[in-house]
Amino acid sequence: MNPTITGFAQSPDRGRGLARDMAVRWALEEVGQPYDVRLLSFAAMKEPAHRRLQPFGQIPTFEDGTLTLFESAAIVLYIADTRPGLLPGDADARARVIAWMFAAKSTLEPPVVERSMALLFEADRPWHAERLKMLDDRVRTRLGDLANYLGSHDWLEREFSAADVVMVTVLRRLGGSGLLEEEPTISDYVAQGEARPAFQRAFEAQRAVFTAATT
Q: Per CB under 6 A, does 209 bind ligand GTB?
A: no
CB 161 within 8 A of CB 88: yes
Considering the complex, state which of residue 84 and residue 176 has its C-beta at the smaller distance from ligand GTB: 176
Distances 200 to 1, 29, 73, 158, 213 between C-alpha atoms, Å: 24, 9, 19, 22, 20
Q: Per CB under 6 A, does 72 bind ligand GTB?
A: yes
Considering the complex, state which of residue 41 and residue 148 has its C-beta at the smaller distance from ligand GTB: 41
> Considering the complex, what minimum distance in angstroms separates the CB of residue 148 from ligand GTB?
26
Q: Per CB under 6 A, does 6 bind ligand GTB?
A: no
Let me know the angle formed at the C-alpha of 161 by 156 and 167, rounded to the nearest 5 degrees: 60
Angle between helices 91-103 and 72-82 (to 10 degrees): 160
> Considering the complex, what minimum distance in angstroms separates the CB of residue 70 from ligand GTB?
6
CB 25 within 8 A of CB 5: yes
> Considering the complex, what minimum distance in angstroms separates the CB of residue 140 from ligand GTB?
21
Stretch that binds ligand GTB, among 55-63, 78-86, 132-140, 206-214 (CB under 6 A): 55-63
CB 107 within 8 A of CB 142: yes
> Considering the complex, what minimum distance in angstroms separates the CB of residue 46 from ligand GTB?
7
Distances 139 to 59, 111, 120, 146 between C-alpha atoms, Å: 25, 6, 17, 11
Considering the complex, state which of residue 59 and residue 143 has its C-beta at the smaller distance from ligand GTB: 59
Which residues of the shown chain bind ligand GTB in the complex (CB under 6 A)?
Answer: 12-13, 18-20, 45, 57-60, 71-72
